[in-house]
Structure 1
């Protein structure tokens, strides 16, 4: 069976592909920078240092749960159906919101609020560009129904007063499993940062940048 795509669909696919490339570059840059960053709290306030790190772990697990929850509702039909239930009744882009939460959690593993904020801000800028393109596509496809949805549900900041759910879900396990596994990659940051801290403890890595 041959597949055909409209020009807006092709444009959206190109935007999403560029989003993956940019995020990969950002992740690589952060990965190269992290070995030389040390949070000032390590020496001035060890308790705060540990609390930020633990809060980051909590954010990572929230991101894994939230992205999987979103995948249960979207079922791989975001372009075919306007999803307005579950997390999509709270915020229009729950997958991206939970991604930002996970990125903040990764940055917090350094116990530096500056690193966490920088990682989150860069990722948010990339995702906002993608979201605006996706909204153009969805508005062209669903018209007034999508405009009504945007008036009721915020783009990024959740509104819990409009929560709606369904009694039954049509689940595509492949989508759910893939989203869960992709989200679980956030957990790699925990042993990775621990390894960096251990190397710094033994003097194998220098403290070049001290950030709050």
Structure 2
């Protein structure tokens, strides 16, 4: 009975930590675009209604992917996306079957979507500039850390699932 209680406690702590860490993507995907644009719509919006609809879809998809990924980190990984409280288990389900870094891709999607919705090209620049430290962090810290921690399991995953551009079919571990 104790093991079940420990697992429940672990999941609760991971969920709490993940919820607290949600401040980071919310800041990058929400607060920074607001600071840059005050969410003012440029009139007329380049691309019109089609661009705005695409923007809404990108924002919605980004939000859904971030939410799903955070839940998976807490419940399956028993940790958080934060480097200071990493998961105990390698998370390779859900969106992670298509792309290794769905949270970063989703944040870029949400910022780009806001650029389309608001007709604010400055947000495309923000997304591109934000990608530079993210790419460096993933290549120089995240990937080597995951390789050390999860070994062959991560290497198999890394060889099969792309870093940034999602696969068309889900990866199946095996």
Provide TM-score, normalisation by structure 2. Answer: 0.64
Question: Does the 8 Å CA contact 2:100/2:163 hold for their aligned counterparts?
Answer: yes
CA RMSD of aligned residues (A): 3.1
Counterpart in the other structure of 2:147: 139
Counterpart in the other structure of 1:120: 127
Within 1, Cα distance between the matches of 2:35 and 2:88? 40
Counterpart in the other structure of 1:108: 116
Instruction: Give unpaired runs (5+ residues) of structure 1.
Output: 1-16, 166-212
For residues 146-187 of structure 1, the C-alpha deviation after alignment (integer angstroms, 9 at most, x for no partner) is 12211111111111324349xxxxxxxxxxxxxxxxxxxxxx
Question: Does the 8 Å CA contact 2:161/2:171 hold for their aligned counterparts?
Answer: no
Within 1, Cα distance between the matches of 2:89 and 2:68? 17
Instruction: Give unpaired runs (5+ residues) of structure 2.
Output: 1-20, 79-85
User: Which structure is higher in RCO with an 8 Å CA cutoff and minimum separation 6?
Assistant: 1
Shift of 1:81: 1.0
Shift of 1:72: 3.1
Matches within 5 A, 1:78-97: 79-97=87-105
Larger Rg: 1
Within 1, Cα distance between the matches of 2:58 and 2:129? 18
Change (3 A) 1:154 1:47: closer
Provide TM-score, normalisation by structure 1. Answer: 0.54
Shift of 1:31: 4.3
Within 2, Cα distance between the matches of 1:106 and 1:96? 16
Within 1, Cα distance between the matches of 2:153 and 2:36? 45
Q: How many residues align?
A: 138
